[in-house]
Amino acid sequence: MLIIMLGAPGAGKGTIARMLVEKFGIVQISTGDMLRQAVNEGTPVGKKALEFMNSGKLVPDDVIMAIIEERIAQPDCAQGFIFDGFPRTIPQAHALESLLTKKNMTVDAIVNLEVPEEVVLKRLTSRRTCSNPHCQAIYNIYTMPPKKEGICDKCGSSLIQRDDETEEAIKVRLDTYYEKTQPLIDYYCKHKAYFAVSSLDAHETFDAIVQRLQK
């Protein structure tokens, strides 16, 4: 099974993807997570991506595609995977289509998570991430706070607000999304595998997607 999950930053792509992974036994591929890992490890790709991530801008396509091709070739992707927030632009979609065609893979679902901008701002400015690069657990000060304020439940490290999740950076990310990614929705809506679903409640969103996939 191959799923592409679309939506603005904070639409819930990661949350829904993890639920689908558990349901169908496939792998979640998040370019954001992979890039952050590269940054934490200080790899050449990570250093190149860092300046873009901190300002809320999109990382260049050549960096993204190199990571994607390497990732889907790994054994754990053999049963299927979910692209969490990728592609983000039409050129990326074209590059992905070429890659999947080369590997004889077919997309089963293209899901667009729809959520109002004010909800996105509240979700992302309230997010906190574990500072331990080997943990990276995510919390929300309103809906999923840690047991002890500012401390990760899993490893005891301090929690931080990422540079790309301040209100200023989020607004830049949303502006970038509307400019670069919204045309992608118009492009994909013509695809037979495309459908949109409201993403205000994770369980309702998950149920709607599963129902569609099992038709």
CATH number for the domain formed by residue range(s) 2-115+179-213: 3.40.50.300
From first to last of its 215 residues, the chain has per-residue pLDDT tens of: 999 999 888 898 888 999 999 999 999 988 777 777 778 878 777 787 888 777 777 788 888 887 788 788 889 999 999 998 789 889 999 999 999 999 999 999 999 999 998 898 888 899 999 999 999 999 999 889 999 999 999 999 999 998 888 888 888 888 888 888 889 999 999 999 999 999 999 999 999 999 998 87
**Residue-level pLDDT at 41:** 79
Distance CA 62, CA 192 (A): 28
The pTM score is 0.75
Q: Take residue 62 and report the two structure tokens written for it.
A: 């050549």
Name which of 73, 74, 64 is nearest 96 in CA terms: 64
Domain ranges of the chain: 2-115+179-213
Distance CA 126, CA 147 (A): 16
**Residue-level pLDDT at 22:** 94
Catalytic residue numbers?
A: 13, 88, 127, 162, 173
**Residue-level pLDDT at 203:** 93
**Residue-level pLDDT at 110:** 96
User: Tokens 């990661």 — which residue?
Assistant: 14
Contact 111, 198 (CB under 8 A): no
